Structure 1
Amino acid sequence: MKLNTSVLVLTLAAVLAGCNEDNKSQRTNTVGWYLDHRDDLAAALTTCGDNPGELGKTPNCINANEARNKITIQEMEDALK
């Protein structure tokens, strides 16, 4: 019985560690980073737009949308000059 409990605890720890690694592999990009990397911004906006229910509130989607907003505002200001 003690062996089964130990195996269960170790298995659970391994599963949880694997989930943590998945989260770490997804780097969070800042708004400024997206402003400097327009191709990645376009890709992130496409990905976020394809699945807003699951991804819409993630840091990368929020930052990508904010970068898009800043670009739009800058383009509007430039057009008025």
Structure 2
Amino acid sequence: MRARLVIALGLAAAALAACSQPVPTHDKAYYAQHDAERATQLAACQNDPGRLAATPNCVNAQSADADGHASKFYDVAKPAPRVADPGKL
């Protein structure tokens, strides 16, 4: 009788533990607008890449981070020409 009670309580505890709240999934636009959350998510992804690398939050945070770096690269001002009027050469 006592063994059945222990088994029933163990199964009930396991069932309640399996009902934990899932982590909310954010899209790429969210991570592009929220720098602190993006940095936190990227740090978590880099600390445990085997388990988290393919999760939607890691993929979206990495994509938003890559877009941010790419926009800085392509938005660089072009240097002024060294020749005052290149058409008259």
TM-score interval w.r.t. the shorter chain?
A: 0.7 to 0.9
Report matched runs for 1:35-46 at 5 Å. Answer: 35-46=32-43
**Partner residue, 2:18:** 19
After TM superposition, give the deviation of residue 16 of structure 1 in Å.
4.3
Work out the CA distance in 2 between the residues paired with 1:54 and 1:65.
15
Name the amino acid aligned to 1:47.
Answer: A
Distance 2:43 2:66 in 1: 15
C-alpha displacement of 1:38: 0.3
Equivalent AA in structure 1 for residue 60 of structure 2: N
Q: When the two structures are aligned, how many residues end up with a matched partner?
A: 77
TM-score (norm 2): 0.67
Structure 2 distance, partners of 1:40, 1:74, is: 19
Q: Which runs of 5+ in 1 are unaligned?
A: none
Match of 2:72 in 1: 75
Identical counterparts, % of pairs: 30
Tell me which amino acid in the other structure corresponds to 2:54: K
Deviations 1:29-79 (A, max 9, x none): 111000110011111111101110111011110110000111011111112
RMSD, aligned CA:
2.5
Hey, which of these two has a bigger chunk of helix by percent?
Answer: 1
Match of 2:46 in 1: 49
Q: Greater Rg, structure 1 or structure 2?
A: 2
Match for 1:34 among 31, 34, 44? 31
Which consecutive segments of 4 or more residues in structure 1 shift more than 2 A?
A: 8-22
